[in-house]
Structure 1
């Protein structure tokens, strides 16, 4: 089973990776200082909303991963490595924001298995097997220059891109409802006349998903455990939720993420051993043991900061006409 290294005390990893070979633009800089701290309840609500968003994307199956958590994260990291650098240039980012505005093939930057493994904190051999699976499924190709995914311009991927955009809009709606004290972007920024920035939002949401998933996996120990943990957070609430603690049994939890009950039971046992979840007579809940409370609280705070970065980047790369931005650049 693939394990991610556990290093919960490290500082926030830069959103734009040095190994991608490019430098953050002002539009890509974090929206808040790394040390920013918000109320535990707000951070907990953000963690739950982010969990729901990741589970929506995972369960939609539009990525072609076939329900395998690790394969899904490898594929998203691959696409992000290939084309995410477009957003380092605000002009290019807006030019290739809408779905029908496909970046030319020459914009793709092939990556390597070793780079993907480093990005996700995975063993090389584990990553290589997942890449070979994706190659066999026609979801990526291997060339002398490296690995890349074809541009997803076909009609079936348009549906996935639209679904992803709507999922981000739903995430924003959840944040408005749960944490209205934060200055989240207005919901109407994600509506209005076409062309909407489906590709831009998908690129930034992919980067968010990788960063969020890798941080959770530092705590859970594996990407399969991460999906189980996120499902439990979504079903029962994250630590520091003001509402009464809920419990969920293994069978309905496994059904909610379309996984075998026995597998989910084993993952819950591993999460309990790490102190991340609590078992009671009515099932499990996402309430940490006292020894893990600080680690979970830090994860919740990091989740909130990542969400702030996500929406801050989208707004800076896709400004309103009143803000002087060009929407879109021809």
Structure 2
């Protein structure tokens, strides 16, 4: 039986979806960084390397399935090395910054040198207990997120794959791949649409999330401020300190402070009375930001569709 007191969401829920997506992204980032014991920038580079190494497999369903099935390790020849330059360009990072973070991954055994000087992800890392746990944690978090999206009306527009039952054995790893793509697509939107470097984009997302997390979690407020044109007023926004941002993103405080200052200089953030950071309503009301909300809505819809195509069927 439906709850008569539950808030009714209007047809346009894109701004609410973006808030949910930001929360999912940052929670997923914590799963990744905890599993490989590193900061968020290194974690995003790790995901980018893994995706680049196996991107060509996605055009061959049989190979893709074998690659992500537990216990199956494809020959090294199937993994294509990616250059540090390509990773830096994809993530809008200075080359030297990308190189420094790749060296961290090499030192941890999370990537290794491949042909032509590129780097590759060693598949045996999948067998590390902390990585196995992260796969399961990510899977359950993604199911909850997808169900929340379905509850507000963002449903799959394609049928589930006909062999969904056969896919159950490797579903968690396939969901990791799809959610990793979604995370990296989120980064692309932040850096390209807002013309930001990676750290600035991640900080901006974290500030936005902290400002309105209580709106996301309050059903009545979420329903009130759900559409592209329904922007929570400044009086509802809760500021966040640079210290809290650095802690949540596992960044050095000085790095967070420096890039936070850039956001202030660009007019994307303001200081609140308590010296914390807020992204004011007038920034969210800009035409380019509204276009970004619409773009993120489409990316999120594509993610939901891909989950359904992989066999993740929700009520």
Shorter-chain TM-score bucket reads: 0.7 to 0.9
Matches within 5 A, 1:133-144: 133-144=104-115
Which residue does the alignment assign to 1:312?
Answer: 305
CA deviation profile, 1:125-160 (whole Å, cap 9, x unmatched): 332222222212211111334310101331422111
CA deviation profile, 1:111-133 (whole Å, cap 9, x unmatched): 22222223223333332222222
Which residue does the alignment assign to 1:279?
Answer: 271
Q: Structure 1 CA distance, aligned partners of 2:284 and 2:154?
A: 30
Q: 1:259 to 1:140 in 2, by over 3 A?
A: closer
Pick from 210, 218, 228: which aligns with 1:235? 210
Instruction: Find out whether 1:297 has 2:308 as its counterpart.
Output: no
Which residue does the alignment assign to 1:267?
Answer: 259
Q: Structure 1 CA distance, aligned partners of 2:27 and 2:165?
A: 20
Which residue does the alignment assign to 1:64?
Answer: 36
Structure 1 contact 165–202 (Cα < 8 Å) conserved: yes
Instruction: Find out whether 1:174 has 2:167 as its counterpart.
Output: no
Structure 1 contact 215–299 (Cα < 8 Å) conserved: yes
Question: Following TM superposition, by how much is the alpha carbon of 1:105 offset from its aligned partner in structure 2, in angstroms?
Answer: 3.1
Pick from 17, 20, 27: which aligns with 1:49? 20
Q: Structure 2 CA distance, aligned partners of 1:284 and 1:192?
A: 48
Q: Structure 1 CA distance, aligned partners of 2:11 and 2:199?
A: 26
Q: 1:220 to 1:254 in 2, by over 3 A?
A: farther
Matches within 5 A, 1:1-330: 42-60=13-31, 61-64=33-36, 66-67=38-39, 69-145=40-116, 146-151=118-123, 152-156=125-129, 157-177=131-151, 180-184=152-156, 194-218=168-192, 219=194, 221-237=196-212, 240=229, 243=232, 245-250=236-241, 251-259=243-251, 263-282=255-274, 283-287=276-280, 289=282, 293-318=286-311
Q: Where does structure 2 lack aligned partners over 5 or more consecutive residues?
A: 1-9, 214-227
Structure 2 contact 91–191 (Cα < 8 Å) conserved: no
Q: 1:167 to 1:294 in 2, by over 3 A?
A: same
Q: Structure 2 CA distance, aligned partners of 1:260 and 1:231?
A: 15
Q: Structure 2 CA distance, aligned partners of 1:120 and 1:107?
A: 24
Q: Structure 2 CA distance, aligned partners of 1:147 and 1:319?
A: 32
Larger helix proportion of the pair: 2
Q: 1:257 to 1:267 in 2, by over 3 A?
A: same
Calculate the TM-score normalised by the size of structure 1: 0.71
Q: 1:192 to 1:308 in 2, by over 3 A?
A: same
Structure 2 contact 239–272 (Cα < 8 Å) conserved: no
